Structure formats: structure tokens, C-alpha cells
Amino acid sequence: MTEYCKQLEIAAQENPFDGTYDSSRIHLVFTNEQIPKSSLLELSRESFGDEEFYGGQECCYLYLPRDAQKKRLNTNYLEKKFGIRMTMRKLSVINRLTKF
């Protein structure tokens, strides 16, 4: 359990989105599998309109603005892209979990 909490803390600290982003629209996507760095790099180069994707050490980071025209980035899309199971949580939830 301690290791899990540490991973969540690191994931929250490594959030690539600065204060200019609406923090309520930042999502972290976790998996128990290893995602090859080449796959993360390839996906980070794709254009998702107003949505943004970043691959991190502990998780993937998504910025999903309310006014995005066509929402493409979601767990279903990422699971199909990487061929693994994933789960997504808002940054605010991760921050609350790290306080326990």
C-alpha cells in the first residue's frame, strides 16, 4: 500500500500541466503494464485538437477541455492503442488519495 501511495504522489508531482490549465480537466491514466517509450513518444506526436497527451514515469497525463470539439482521448482509445487495460482518474482525486 505504501508503494502505491508513493506512486500516486510521484504521478501528481510530475503533472506536466502548469497553472494556466484548468486543473479540473486534468486526468491521469494508470496501468499495471509497461508501455514502451517509443509508443508513448509516437502518441505524444499525434494531434488531438484541444486535447493534450503526455507520457510520464508513473502514468499518462491528459488534458480534456470542456469545449474540445471532438473528444478522442479516453481510456477506450488508449487501451486499444496500447493493447492493455487502463484506468483514468482526475488529478483532484489523486491529490486527495495522496493525503491519506
Domain ranges of the chain: 2-97
Mean pLDDT of 78-91: 94
pLDDT band at 69 (very low <50, low <70, confident <90, very high): low
Output the pTM of the full model. Answer: 0.89
Per the structure block, which three cell numbers stand in for 66? Answer: 470542456
Cβ distance 59 to 97 under 8 Å? no
CA–CA gap between residue 74 and residue 76 (Å, rounded): 6
What DSSP string runs through 14-54?
A: T----TTS-GGGEEEEE-SSPPPHHHHHHHHTS--TT-EEE
The β-bridge partners of 27 are 62, 90
Which CATH number does the domain 2-97 belong to among 3.30.70, 2.60.40, 3.30.160, 3.90.550? 3.30.70
Mean pLDDT of 37-62: 92
Looking at the predicted structure, is the pLDDT value of residue 14 above 90?
A: yes
Place of cell 488519495: 97
